[in-house]
Chains A and B, each alone.
Chain A
Amino acid sequence: MRRLFLIALIAGCAAAQLPAQLLQLRITGLDGLAAKAKESTDITLDSNLLKMAGGFLAGADKDGKDGDTIKQLLSGLKAITVRSFEFNEPGQYRIEDLEQIRAQLRTPGWSKIISSQNKNEISEIYTRMEQGKVAGFAIINAEPKELTVVAIEGTINLNDLSKLKALGVPSIPVPEKKGKQE
Chain B
Amino acid sequence: MAETVTVPPTERTRKAPSRQMIVTALPSVVLVALVLAVSVQQPSFLGPLSLRTLAESAAPIALIAIGVMFVILTGGIDLSVAVLTSLGTVLLALWMPSLGLLGVLLMIMAITAAGLLNGFVTAFAQVPSFVVTLGAMGLWSGVALGLSGASTISIGANHSLIGWLTGFRVGGVAISVYLTLGLGILVALGVRFLARGKSLHAIGLAENAALMSGVRTRRVRILAFGASGFFAALAATVLASSQYSGSPTLADALLLPAIAAVIVGGTAITGGVGGPLRTIIGTLVIGVLRVGMNALGVDPAYEQIVYGSVIIAAVALTLDRSRIGIVK
Chains A and B form a bound pair = no
**Residues of A that sit less than 8 Å from B by CB:** none
